[in-house]
Each structure stands twice: as structure tokens, then as C-alpha cells.
Amino acid sequence: MKVFIDDLPLRGDDKFRGVGEYTRNLIDALKALSKRKDLVLVNKDYDIVHYPYFHLFFNTLPLYKNTKTIVTIHDVIPLLYPKNYPPGIRGKVSFWKQKISLKTVNAIITDTQTSKKDIVRLLDVPQAKIFPIYLAPAACFKRLPDNSKILKDVQKRYSLPEKFVLYVGDVNYNKNVATLVKACQAVGVPLVIVGKHALEIDELGYALDVLRGPSDWLRFLLGKPHPELAHYQDLLGALEKNKQVFRLGFVPIGDLVAIYNLATVYCQPSFYEGFGLPPLEAMACGLPTIVSKTQALIEISADSTLSFDPKDVSGLVEVLRKVLNNKNLQTKLSSEGLRHVKNFSWNLTAKKTFEVYKKVYVQN
């Protein structure tokens, strides 16, 4: 069986985001698996093409397919929050084309049962065509000795405090970062944010005022603000009030492992996720982890975390204080996280992906 995996997410900004991480780890794991299985990853003369990405509002999936096709749809979050992720006229046209193109793919891979339900409901795809396959932390995410030299070096290089809450990821609307910033201020504990997007927040408000398309001009003429502007303004306002926020931007993966090990607690405050890789990376590093009560995060974390209502700042404040002030609870959450994360591996992800390839390969 010859399979071509489109590696577009390994180029450009996506290589620093979840879709790039997924593509890179999946290819590496499948290469390792192919040494023992009837599978060859190729660039031409393939039996199956796998697109490990799908954009709702851009034409990323060809309408006409000359070979068996598999696509990974990580989530459909913009469809759940249409006011916060407006597609514009061109985006709506692309969305229509993307939905049509999905009707002729042989299989869809997604990250969770939660995302599968969303895809069935919002993209009108038959359940039998969708295969949920969990992702996993990369093997480098692990617990480091307290006296490790890299921990001291990273703490000094990034001027990190002795005690801090960690968040890793983008600052899109669904990530709900403003709530975390406000909660950390109320608790009086520093917050460290890792992610390229975090350093661009100050410029985003101005970028959203640019008149690029028909929808922007219509809003301008009607005197209406861009739907995303309120979100970024709220976040910037929270950041201006909280002076104990360290925005590190993108950091190399080795440094990120050390930062997970240095943190006191990890928090994923999202309104919604399709999966949620950073909480698992935190668990793999032995970091006590708390997540919001949203379907995918509860699905993948099971009983190994504490949770809170993402719309309730006071609820997050209560959970943060509970963890930060209780060493025994920190130890318990660390142990449960380390135990739970053993259920996830890229080898298992690759094996389940290979099973989908086999099903598609034998289809008429």
C-alpha cells in the first residue's frame, strides 16, 4: 500500500501550531510502523492520499479526486462560534466547495468523539465515514530531574518566577485566555503564556481594522466593529491590568519541556476544543493540570485533572487556589496525570491511522 501524506502543514506558520505538530509526529510514527507493516510513504504513484489538514473557509481539498482520499478534520470550532469567526463572502463560497468535496472522500479522521459529533451535525457527513483517533504528546515530553541543568538554564534565560501558572497555545476566542489572565491576577500568581500568537496580540486590534473585503467595508459603512475586535480588546485590557504575565512567544521544544517541568500548574481555560494537546504534554511532564468543563477536554483527561466552568472567573480562581495551596493535591494530580497519559502514544495513533488506510485500500 502506497500512501502520500501532504506535508503542507510543515511549511509556513502551521508548523508551529497543532496541525504542524500532528503532521510531523504522524509521519514519523508511520515511518517507524512501515518497517513492520505493508505500508510505504511515497510522493508519487500512490494508492491513497491523506490530507492531514482541512480548512473550513479556504479551498484545501480538491473537488475532483483521481485517487482514494482521506482527510483529517481536527475540529469545526468556527462553525460553533460563527459571530467570532466570520468567514466573509469568499469564505462562505469556499465553505460550500469544501462541503461538496467532503462528499467524495473515502474517510475522515478526527481527534475525538466530540469532534466526530460536530462533523456529523455541521458538515452533514455520515458517521460511518468518520474515525476518531487520539493524538499524543511527543516522546520528548517527560519529567526531568529537579537538579537538571536545563531547568536552571531555562529559568534564568526566560526570567521565569519560582511559582507560576502555565498556558501553551494560541489566543483565539475559543481559547478563553482573558479569563485565565483575570483569574491569575485575582489569585496573585504569575502567568506564563507560550505561543507565537501571544506576542502578536498588541497588533491584532489594528489588523482587524484593515478594510480587506466586502464584509469589512459593509461593517465600516454601518459603523459596526469587527466581530473579533471585542475579544482581543478584552484580552488586551486584562493584560494591561495584570502585570505578572510573561508572554514568551514561540520557544524551541526542548525549552518548552523544561518550562512544563518548572511550572506549578497547567491550565487550559478553553470554551471549546477539538482535542487539547498541551494538557497531555503537561501531564507527561508530571505537571498538575486543570481544564475547563468542555466536552473534548473532559473526554481526553478523564479523571486525571480538576475542572471548572470556563465562563466563571471566580470558579477558576477557586480551583487555582485549591491546587496552588495544597502540596498533597499537587502530588496527587501529578501522579494521576502521569498514569493517565500512558494511554496515549504516537505509535498507537499511527496504528489506528494505518487501520483506516487499510479499510480505504480495500474499498471498491
Report the phi/psi class of residue 276: left, alpha or beta, with left for phi > 0 and alpha for psi in -120 to 50: left
**Domain span holding position 121:** 2-136+345-361
In a domain, 142, yes or no: no
Q: Helix 327-340 to helix 313-324 angle, to the nearest 10 degrees?
A: 100
Task: Compare 330 and 90 and report the one with higher pLDDT.
Answer: 330
> What's the average model confidence in pLDDT over 222-238?
74
The per-residue pLDDT for 112 is 97
pLDDT digits (tens, 9 = 90+) for 108-162: 999 999 999 999 999 999 999 999 999 999 999 999 998 889 999 999 999 999 9
In a domain, 173, yes or no: yes
The verdict on 106 and 191 lying in the same domain is no
The verdict on 354 and 321 lying in the same domain is no
The verdict on 49 and 155 lying in the same domain is no
pLDDT digits (tens, 9 = 90+) for 40-62: 899 999 999 999 999 999 999 99
Q: What is the pTM of this model?
A: 0.91
In a domain, 244, yes or no: yes
Give the ranges where 55-112 is alpha helix by DSSP (H): 77-80, 88-102
Domains of the chain: total: 2
Cα Rg, the chain, nearest whole Å: 21
pLDDT band of 196, cuts 50, 70, 90: confident
The verdict on 225 and 113 lying in the same domain is no
Measure the CA–CA gap between 154 and 237, rounded to whole angstroms.
29
The verdict on 85 and 176 lying in the same domain is no
In a domain, 143, yes or no: no
In a domain, 334, yes or no: yes
Starting at the edge strand found earlier in the chain, the sheet holding 40-41 runs 40-41, 2-5, 48-51, 68-72, 107-110, 130-132
CATH of the domain at 20: 3.40.50.2000
Provide the residue count of the chain.
Answer: 364
The verdict on 262 and 339 lying in the same domain is yes
